[in-house]
Structure 1
Amino acid sequence: MGGCKPCAFLIGLPFALLSLILSLLGAVIWIIGSVVTCICPCCICCAGLANASMSLIKLPVEIVQWFINLIPC
């Protein structure tokens, strides 16, 4: 991370909280997609949807890291 940047953390916090809601939605989509894929393995699109939802789950951490790296103070 490079060092303590409290300004960047505080500016990025509201965006991280918003993306936390999206990550919860991504977790629900991932669970549903995984269950559907286990029940019917011929539905390969559900496996792709479950894998795409993993990026939504990782979103809050990526946003906070992006803000911390973006702001120099």
Structure 2
Amino acid sequence: MGMGFWLKRFALAFLGAGALLLAVEMLKGHAADQAVPFALGWGAMFATVFTLVGYARFRRNPACMLPRDRRH
């Protein structure tokens, strides 16, 4: 799994978490100028942890990340 896979995984996690956190903050009644930095910061932290944990699992046992039909 190349760099593109991990960057795409990070981007998808960041966008998903950021959008969800932004929506929650806006629904709670926070102003946009407070909600956006909150969502960006926590979204980036979540995406970093999510991607690094996936990478660590891949490095430990790459076969676990492969689809069933490509395993030995």
- TM-score normalised according to structure 1 size: 0.44
- Greater relative contact order (Cα 8 A, min sep 6): structure 1 or 2? 1
- TM-score normalised according to structure 2 size: 0.44
